[in-house]
Chain A
Amino acid sequence: MKKFKLWLLILLAAGLLGGTYVWFFVYNKPHRNIETASPDYILSAESFYTHYSNKSTPEGENYDGAVLQISGIPTSIETVDSLRIVVFAFTEGVFGDEGIRCTLLPSHHQYLKSIVPGRPVTLKGLCSGYNGTDVILEQCSIINE
């Protein structure tokens, strides 16, 4: 009987531990921290945009959902409500300037003054893909602040 109780306790403890693990590390696992993540790809803003707009991504590389570190010369900085967007424009289309749009992490808004259109900058962010006009990078952080 004692042995049975012991096994029951072990099973309950294992179940509790398993459930706790699933609750915290599977069901409620945190979002990937893009700011501290190592970049999957490092490249110039221009070649990054050209790969997307020409559908000429090098074989074996997939930028969608990847963390990218890009360097280039920003053309403008937009403020849309609470968003701060660094724009690298390369062409003009129906929707105006087209290029790369990097939405900064709120914690990096304070460094925005270090970004001046026309001066090189390096940013890191999560690539959401190409929407037909722009490549979208989100949760961007300024590397050379």
Chain B
Amino acid sequence: MKKLILLFIILTTASQLTMAQRYLTKNGHIKFYSDGPLEKIEAHNNQVNAALDTKTGGFVFKVLMKSFVFEKALMQEHFNENYVESDKFPNATFAGKVTNLQDINFDKPGSYEATVVGKLTIHGVTKDISTQGSFDVKEDHVQGKSVFMIKLADYDISIPGAVTGKIAEEIEITVDTKLESLK
């Protein structure tokens, strides 16, 4: 049921996007960083679909979990097989809105602070999140950036006792997308 609601939100947002000024990328970047007591782990994903509607403030992104690349192959295996179960839950999605749209002029180059609220779905669990970020408006694209923390337990991701010291309970997520206008 949750998936259906989320799909509805994404589809309605996407259909609204076709009516207005759209900025898109299929190669956005998401990094996650775990600063555990015994080990620091980071992974990168350069295959992020993201879309921004500058008229309504709608912002969505979708990411394939199997596209996260870790330094160590074993960590990548554990991430996909044991933690996020990417065969069962292949994608993570965010669907939300920029709430301070009135403070951002997408027609004028510059750097603007943004507040984004929405629903983040990871491991089949959807949670409300609110985060600060920025939009760097350039002549030919918009660079959207945000850094926020998520708790693994909130998304039903359990860490086995044997590796507890290696993975932090809270993970830092960095979203960096170079959004280009859809002609």
* CB-based nearest A residue for B11: A94
Is B49 close to A, CB under 8 A? yes
User: By CB atoms of chain A within 10 A, which of B47, B51, B86 has the most?
Assistant: B47
Contact of A32 among B63, B73, B80 (CB under 8 A): B73
> Which residues in B have their C-beta under 8 angstroms from that of A96?
24, 26, 182
Count of B residues near A, CB < 8 Å? 28
Check A138/B67 contact, CB under 8 A, given A83-B27, A85-B27: yes
Q: How far is the CA of A98 from the CA of B176 in the complex (A)?
A: 22
| Interfacial residues of chain B within 18-51, with CB under 8 A of chain A in the complex | 18, 24-27, 46-47, 49, 51
Is B64 close to A, CB under 8 A? yes
Count of A residues near B, CB < 8 Å? 28
> Which residues in B have their C-beta under 8 angstroms from that of A32?
73
Tally of A-B Cβ pairs under 8 angstroms: 73
> Could you list which residues of chain A lie within 8 angstroms of chain B, going by C-beta atoms?
26-32, 64-65, 78, 80-81, 83, 85, 94-96, 101, 103, 128-134, 136, 138
**In the bound complex, do residue A132 and residue B62 qualify as a contact, i.e. CB atoms below 8 Å apart?**
yes
**In the bound complex, do residue B72 and residue A64 qualify as a contact, i.e. CB atoms below 8 Å apart?**
no
Instruction: Give the Cβ gap from B118 to chain A, nearest Cβ, in Å.
Output: 17
Instruction: Give the Cβ gap from A49 to chain B, nearest Cβ, in Å.
Output: 15
Q: How far is the CA of A129 from the CA of B92 in the complex (A)?
A: 13
Q: How far is the CA of A66 from the CA of B5 in the complex (A)?
A: 31
> Which residues in A have their C-beta under 8 angstroms from that of B123?
none
**In the bound complex, do residue A131 and residue B66 qualify as a contact, i.e. CB atoms below 8 Å apart?**
no
Contact of B72 among A27, A131, A136 (CB under 8 A): A27
Check A29/B49 contact, CB under 8 A, given A85-B27, A132-B62: no
**In the bound complex, do residue B66 and residue A65 qualify as a contact, i.e. CB atoms below 8 Å apart?**
yes
Is B150 close to A, CB under 8 A? no
* CB-based nearest A residue for B28: A80
Check A31/B76 contact, CB under 8 A, given A64-B87, A131-B49: yes
